[in-house]
Amino acid sequence: MRFRTILFICISVFFSFILQTTLFKVLAFGGISPNLLLLIVALFGLMFGRKVGLMTGFFAGLFIDMFFGSSLCFYALIYMYIGYMNGFFHRLFFNDDIKLPIALIAMSDLVYCLVIYILTFLLRGRFHFGHYFLHIILPEIAYTVILSLFLCPFLIWAGNRLNQKPKGSLNID
CATH for 149: 1.10.1760
Is residue 171 in a domain?
A: no
CA 139-74-17 angle, to 5 degrees, is 55
Q: What is the C-alpha separation between 154 and 157, in angstroms, rounded?
A: 5
Is residue 172 in a domain?
A: no
pLDDT(31) > 90: no
pLDDT in tens, 133-153: 999 999 999 999 999 999 999
Is residue 55 in a domain?
A: yes
**Closest C-alpha to 8, from 146, 164, 170, 147:** 164
User: In which band, very low, low, confident or very high, does the pLDDT at 167 lie, cut at 50, 70 and 90?
Assistant: low
Specify the number of domains making up the chain: 1
Average pLDDT over residues 156-169: 76
If one compares 19 and 126, the residue with the highest pLDDT of the two is: 19
Average pLDDT over residues 120-143: 89
Is residue 135 in a domain?
A: yes
Which residues form the domain of 108? 3-163
pLDDT(51) > 80: yes
What's the mean per-residue pLDDT of the chain? 91
